[in-house]
């Protein structure tokens, strides 16, 4: 019924603040995850930019280098069978566009040897040399990293054939400066984008979580006992939360209403017998003062009081048992037990009471043991209620054989308990309603109206099935099925 935390968390404001500080923040996680992702992406982008700007700078300055190399190549000629080169001024004017970069070159012929330039330059490119194919590569020379262009080709005239090789190099200052300026610009843009994205995430996280705060505030600001649904406008994403809270409140309201009814009815249940008890007692007192006094009459009146006390006692016991059962159902876990034990026990207890009302109670059972998962006390209470009920409704018609039979049978998957009476039976229209709390089929028969609703609670709690059948020729049969416990399963 009511499930509450065992140690009531009546936290002080300070403790609540501490708990708030310890609690993980959704917004913080969201921002951290966002910043991490953006950081990784920005890092990758910057890495790519570094690579790309280097390539771009090399590409543009390699064009200058190639142009200068080709201009030099054009001016290689054979004079009297000797290779010679007249380097054009324009070739170096091209290179001078890289304002601060030193220039190194070497021209040599495979047959003739060194022709001009810097003799100690390395003549061999890193990749396999192919005739007429310009190679670009970086190599250290004269204490600096130098970008070289390399070409080798055959030069032929009528009398000689020679292979000449031109190596032209330029230091990398301008390239690095260009790459750095591209990189700086691009990195600025990337950082700007990243910062904007992070700002958006921070603002976004605030906006996204605001409806939650609004719902929280709406609940916080409520008057005590206000259980009406929340009707603030919230976005789709928090709609479910709102609906869940509203459903929860509706259930709470139902439960509260039930509790209210129960309390009112319990009071009513107690008040009526108490009032009649008082009336009977007054009657017994007044008999002594009246003119028609006779000891017979007074004994009769006292007998009525005792009967009424018994009824009251039953009602109170039932109410208390119900409270105990509902508490046990909330707090006790189901355990392995023998179903026959509570059934036998309750039959034994009720047999005498039934006999007093002229009803013969019998138990029909061939089983030695019937293991189920259940709560012994609750099941005993259930049996007691069913038997009491059967006994109570058996005694109305004196003509019928007064007998209540309890049967326990085993099936493949379940055990079936039947409580059979031969009373007037329950009309089909009421079969569904008898389990309702405080519903009483007949007001001329004593009863509290809570017994069968308690049966329903216990059955539900055990995931069992209850059915109301008609006894032939007349009467009612309550049939309850409990699932067998199976050891091979993992249901422990």
Partner 1 sequence: MGIFQVLCMVMLLHVGSVWSADPVWFGSQDNTRVLHVNSTMDLASFEPILKVFVALHPDIKVAYRDVNTLDLYHLTIDQHKQPQASLVISSAMDLQLKLVNDGYAQTYQSNFTERLPSDFRWRHQVFAFSLEPVVMLVNTEVFPGDLPEDRQSLLQTIRQNESIMTQRIGTYDIRQSGVGYLLASQDARQADVTWGRLLEAFGSHQVRTYCCTHEMIDDVASGELVLGYNLLGSYASQRARDDKRLKMILPKDYTLMLMRTALIPKQAPNPQDAGLFLDFLLSDSAQKMMQTQGLLFPIRPDANIPNDPYVVSAPGPTGVIELDQQLLVGRDYAKQKRFIRNWEMALEISELVP
What tokens does 293 get? 């006094």
Give whole-number Cα distances, 37 to 24, 49, 205, in Å: 20, 18, 15
Q: Which one of 25, 119, 228, 313 is in contact with partner 1 (CB under 8 A)? A: 119
Q: Please name the helix (run of DSSP H) or strand (run of DSSP E) that holds residue 476, with its range, or none.
A: strand 476-483
Structure tokens belonging to residue 156: 């032929």
Binding-site member from 115, 287, 420, 466 for partner 1 (CB under 8 A): 115
Nearest CB to partner 1, comparing residues 42 and 167? 167
Q: Are the C-beta atoms of residues 109 and 94 closer than 8 Å to each other? A: no
Is residue 100 within the footprint of partner 1 (CB under 8 A)? yes
Smallest gap from Cβ 183 to partner 1, in A, equals: 23
Are the C-beta atoms of residues 420 and 347 closer than 8 Å to each other? Answer: no
Cis ω before 162 (30° cut-off from 0): no
For partner 1, which stretch binds (CB under 8 A), given 111-119, 225-233, 297-305, 461-469?
A: 111-119
Q: In angstroms, what is the minimal distance from the CB of 31 to partner 1?
A: 46
Q: Of 41-49, 82-90, 184-192, 469-477, which part binds partner 1 (CB under 8 A)?
A: 82-90
93 interacts with partner 1 by CB under 8 A? yes
Alpha helices in 357-434 (DSSP H): 376-394, 428-431
Say whether residue 95 binds partner 1 (CB under 8 A).
Answer: yes
- Say how many C-beta atoms besides its own lie within 10 A of residue 438's C-beta: 15
Q: Are 166 and 86 in contact (CB under 8 A)?
A: no
Decide whether 86 or 303 has the Cβ nearer to partner 1: 86
Nearest distance in Å: CB 41, partner 1: 40
**Shortest CB 195 distance to partner 1, Å:** 34
Confirm or reject binding of residue 81 to partner 1 (CB under 8 A): no
d(CA 299, CA 43): 102
Minimal distance, residue 133 CB to partner 1, in Å:
25
CA atoms of 106 and 69, how far apart (whole Å): 11
Q: How far is the CB of 103 from partner 1 (least distance, A)?
A: 5
Q: What is the DSSP string of 184-219?
A: HHHHHHHHHHHHHHHHHHHHHHHHHHHHHHHHHHHH
Q: Which of 66, 70, 84, 371 binds partner 1 (CB under 8 A)?
A: 84
- Determine the Cα–Cα distance for residues 325 and 318; give it in Å rounded to an integer: 10
34 vs 88, which CB is nearer to partner 1? 88
Please give the helix or strand (H or E) that residue 146 lies within, else none: strand 144-156
Q: Please give the torsion angle defined by the CA atoms of residues 282, 288, 290 and 293, in that order, rounded to the nearest 10 degrees.
A: 120
Q: Which of 38, 91, 329, 372 binds partner 1 (CB under 8 A)?
A: 91
Question: Does residue 85 interact with partner 1 by CB under 8 A?
Answer: yes
Q: What is the C-alpha separation between 406 and 345, in angstroms, rounded?
A: 12
62 binds partner 1 (CB under 8 A): no
142 binds partner 1 (CB under 8 A): yes
Shortest spacing between CB 93 and partner 1, in angstroms: 5
407 vs 405: CA distance, rounded Å? 6
| Segment lying near partner 1 (by CB under 8 A), choices 30-38, 55-63, 95-103, 365-373 | 95-103
Residue 114 touching partner 1 (CB under 8 A): yes
| 87 touches partner 1 (CB under 8 A) | yes
Beta bridge partners of 148: 137, 169
- Residue 122 in the binding site for partner 1 (CB under 8 A): no
Cβ-based nearer residue to partner 1, 49 or 85: 85
In the complex, which residues of this chain contact partner 1 (CB under 8 A)? 84-89, 91-93, 95-96, 99-104, 107, 114-117, 119, 142-144
């Amino acid at each position: 019924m009511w499930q509450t935390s065992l140690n009531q968390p009546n936290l002080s404001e300070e403790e609540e603040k501490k708990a708030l500080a310890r609690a993980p923040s959704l917004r913080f996680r969201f921002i951290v995850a966002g910043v991490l992702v953006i950081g990784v992406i920005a890092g990758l982008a910057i890495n790519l930019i570094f690579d790309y700007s280097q390539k771009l700078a090399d590409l543009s300055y390699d064009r200058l280098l190639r142009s200068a190399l080709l201009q030099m190549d054009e001016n290689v000629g054979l004079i009297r069978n000797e290779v010679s080169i007249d380097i054009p001024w324009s070739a170096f004017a091209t290179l001078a566009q890289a304002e601060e970069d030193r220039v190194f070159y070497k021209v040599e012929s495979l047959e003739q040897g060194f022709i001009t330039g810097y003799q100690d330059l390395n003549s061999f490119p890193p990749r396999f040399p192919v005739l007429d194919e310009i190679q670009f590569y970086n190599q250290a020379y004269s204490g600096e990293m130098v970008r070289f262009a390399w070409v080798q080709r055959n030069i032929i005239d009528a009398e000689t054939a020679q292979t000449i090789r031109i190596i032209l190099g330029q230091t990398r200052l301008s390239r690095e400066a260009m790459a750095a300026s591209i990189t700086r610009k691009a990195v600025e843009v990337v950082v700007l984008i990243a910062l904007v994205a992070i700002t958006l995430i921070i603002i976004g996280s605030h906006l996204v979580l605001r409806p939650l705060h609004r719902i929280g505030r709406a609940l916080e600001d409520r008057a005590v006992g206000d259980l009406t649904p929340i009707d603030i406008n919230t976005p789709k994403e928090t709609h479910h939360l709102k609906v869940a809270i509203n459903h929860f409140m509706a259930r709470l309201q139902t439960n509260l209403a039930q509790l209210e009814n129960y309390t009112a009815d319990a009071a009513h249940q107690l008040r009526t017998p108490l009032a009649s008890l008082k009336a009977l007692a007054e009657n017994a007192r007044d008999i002594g003062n009246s003119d028609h006094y006779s000891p017979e009459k007074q004994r009769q009146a006292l007998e009525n009081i005792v009967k009424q006390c018994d009824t009251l006692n039953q009602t109170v016991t039932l109410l208390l048992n119900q409270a105990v059962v509902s508490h046990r159902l909330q707090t006790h876990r189901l355990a392995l037990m023998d179903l026959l034990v509570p059934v036998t026990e309750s039959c034994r207890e009720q047999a005498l009471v039934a006999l007093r009302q002229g009803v013969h109670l019998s138990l029909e059972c061939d089983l030695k043991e019937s293991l189920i998962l259940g709560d012994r006390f609750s099941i005993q209470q259930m049996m007691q209620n069913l038997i009491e009920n059967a006994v109570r409704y058996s005694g109305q018609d004196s003509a019928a054989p007064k007998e209540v039979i309890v049967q326990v049978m085993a099936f493949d998957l379940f055990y079936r308990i039947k409580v059979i009476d031969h009373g007037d039976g329950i009309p089909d229209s009421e079969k569904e309603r008898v389990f309702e709390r405080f519903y009483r089929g007949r007001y001329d028969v004593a009863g509290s109206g809570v017994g069968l609703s308690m049966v329903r609670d216990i059955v539900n709690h055990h995931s069992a099935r209850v059915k109301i059948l008609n006894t032939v020729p007349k009467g009612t049969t309550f049939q309850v099925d409990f699932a067998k416990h199976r050891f091979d399963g993992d249901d422990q």
